Amino acid sequence: MENKKELRTWLDDMQLNHPLVIAGPCSAETEAQVLKIAHELKNTDVNYYRAGIWKPRTRPGNFEGVGALGLKWLQKVKEETGLKTATEVANRAHVELALEHDIDLLWIGARSTVSPFIVQEIADALKGTDKVILVKNPVNPDLPLWLGAIERLATSDIKKLGVIHRGFSTYEKTKYRNNPEWQLAIELQTKFPDLPLINDPSHITGNRDMILDISQTALDLNFDGLMIETHVDPDNAWSDAAQQVTPKALVQIMKDLKIRKETD
Ligand code: PEP
Ligand code: MN
């Protein structure tokens, strides 16, 4: 792990701060909500502004996202704040729309990584892209599925590929929403040492009070970045209310984290 940073290619080339920070709401709800959060995250450590616009919910009957309309809101975020933008894509049409709207970072969600056909469709639609593409781990603790998704994308000539560790569902209840199973992320890292590894403490914990702890563990394990769901009114968020933090709380988390310098 000592020389891991030397292997960083696109992340180093982009000269982004360490750790990389992706923040913003679980879901884009309204234009006003998206812009308000973005303005509060401007001039912080945040590099990429995330907002889910296509939301693959486990059970029907929940908010499934505003759809393509949200892409315009993200474009406005970039114009008004200069923040780069990020959203989840789950099929070819999503990829095409996101690329048309110049979204800077696309990620594949945990419910898509489980499906080789969907991953292949997305990989084909992304062929040769120079956008940042991140692959979340699959819902269940199945390392080969995660590796397979990465391999499909890697053969599509994607120049800026990375992974997001968001924990794994378990049948038994634990204090986490999704058990971290850190050893799976570490094993993945040994197999693909040059892929930036981002931690998603929001979906691991399901609880804003544990975000700092999990983020610190991730940085201690040499993760390259964090994706933290952030909302101006977390309790009234349309999805994942319990785990979102306010922009102010995010700034405090970043201050409280002990960040190892590259020279350490
Ligand atoms: C999300 O990032 O809001 C999301 C749906 O995450 P996951 O795919 O990890 O459940
Ligand atoms: Mn979420």
Task: Report yes or no for ipTM above 0.95.
Answer: yes
Give the per-residue pLDDT at 259: 87
On the question of pLDDT at 185 being above 50, the answer is yes
pLDDT band at 254 (very low <50, low <70, confident <90, very high): very high
Residues 10 and 231: their CA atoms lie apart, in Å, by 29
Residues 57 and 65: their CA atoms lie apart, in Å, by 9
Backbone phi, psi, residue 133, to 5°: -120, 120
Mutate to test the pocket of ligand 1, among 203, 238, 239 (most ligand atoms within 8 A of CB): 203
Tokens matching residue 180: 């971290």
54 in a structural domain? yes
> What percentage of the chain reaches a pLDDT higher than 70?
95
pLDDT digits (tens, 9 = 90+) for 38-73: 999 999 999 999 999 999 999 999 999 999 999 999
Residue 85 pairs with which residues in a beta bridge?
49
C-alpha distance from residue 45 to each of 28, 200, 253, 260 (Å)? 21, 16, 11, 16
Cis preceding-peptide flag for 19 (omega within 30 of 0)? yes
Q: Is 203 in the pocket of ligand 1 (CB under 6 A)?
A: yes
Q: Is 167 in the pocket of ligand 1 (CB under 6 A)?
A: no
Ligand of minimum distance to the alpha carbon of 53: 1
CB-based contact 52:45 (threshold 8 Å): no
C-alpha distance from residue 178 to each of 21, 137, 169 (Å)? 21, 11, 5
Q: Is 110 in the pocket of ligand 1 (CB under 6 A)?
A: yes
DSSP state for residue 21 in the 8-state scheme: E
On the question of pLDDT at 168 being above 70, the answer is yes
49 in a structural domain? yes
Give me the domain span that covers residue 144: 4-256
261 in a structural domain? no
Cα 124 to ligand 1 centroid, rounded to whole Å: 22
Residue minimizing CA distance to atom 9 of ligand 1:
110
Residue minimizing CA distance to atom 4 of ligand 1:
109
78 in a structural domain? yes
39 in a structural domain? yes
pLDDT digits (tens, 9 = 90+) for 15-30: 888 899 999 999 999 9
103 in a structural domain? yes
DSSP state for residue 88 in the 8-state scheme: E
Cα 109 to ligand 1 centroid, rounded to whole Å: 5
pLDDT digits (tens, 9 = 90+) for 86-137: 999 999 999 999 999 999 999 999 999 999 999 999 999 999 999 999 999 9
Residues 98 and 257: their CA atoms lie apart, in Å, by 33
CATH of the domain at 105: 3.20.20.70
